[in-house]
Amino acid sequence: EKIIDARDIKYEDIIVSFACMHAGSVETDYGFFVNELPQIILKKGATVLVDAGDTKEGLKHSLMMKGEVIAGMNSTQQEKFAAHLVGTVIFKVFVKRFDDLISGLEKSKLTPEKIKELVLAALLWFYYILGNHDLWETEEGHEPLEVFKAHLARFLTEKIEKHLSSHGLPYIPILEMVES
């Protein structure tokens, strides 16, 4: 039996990052974000997506009054919108990768453990840091991007569960995997 030396194993993470999405801004190119970013991730074979800050536009400096925020979009709505934008990118990548992984497999023979393994293999790792726009609300006692985090987990969980169901796969709990 051959013993594998850990030094012979090559591990590689490919990272695609974005910053200053400013969800809620009238200036952000949302079409590029949800349509082109997934293609870039897939083309590069990225395994990690990093949001390097300023996920939302925020409201400080009278940005709404200056017309720099989509009319009426408060901080909570900006976080929900950001979750849908980021979730759409992650889900598009997931669908392509998952569908590629299960093509040719006999779906009726997939165990819940194997399905979980395939889901994890298809999901991007997602990390985010807080930018100054995100941190503005701390002055008012709010935890920045908490709404974003909760809505992103919910969005992805619902989408992935529906996608697995569309393949006739048995229900498996997805939330814990998505949150991790």
Q: Is the pLDDT of residue 9 over 90?
A: no
**Percent of the chain surpassing pLDDT 70:** 94
Q: What tokens were used for 141?
A: 């006692």
> pTM of this prediction?
0.91
The span from the CA of 135 to the CA of 137, in Å, is: 5
Q: What is the pLDDT, as a whole number, of residue 104?
A: 86
Q: Which residue has the tokens 């909760």?
A: 150
Question: Which pLDDT value is given to residue 62?
Answer: 79
Residues 6+ apart with CB under 8 A from 89: 33, 34, 37, 38, 41, 49
Give me the chain's average pLDDT, please: 92
DSSP code for 2: P
Residue type, 80: K
3: left (phi over 0), alpha (psi -120 to 50) or beta: beta
pLDDT digits (tens, 9 = 90+) for 87-116: 999 999 999 999 999 998 898 889 999 999
- Note the helical H segments in the chain: 30-31, 37-44, 75-102, 112-122, 132-135, 146-166, 175-179
Q: Average pLDDT of 3-29? A: 83
> Band of the pLDDT at 29, cuts 50, 70, 90?
very high
The two tokens of residue 137 are: 């609300």
24: region left, alpha or beta (phi > 0 left; psi from -120 to 50 alpha): left
- Residue-wise pLDDT tens digits, 109-125: 899 999 999 999 999 99
Instruction: For tokens 């390097």, name the residue.
Output: 52
pLDDT at 27: 95
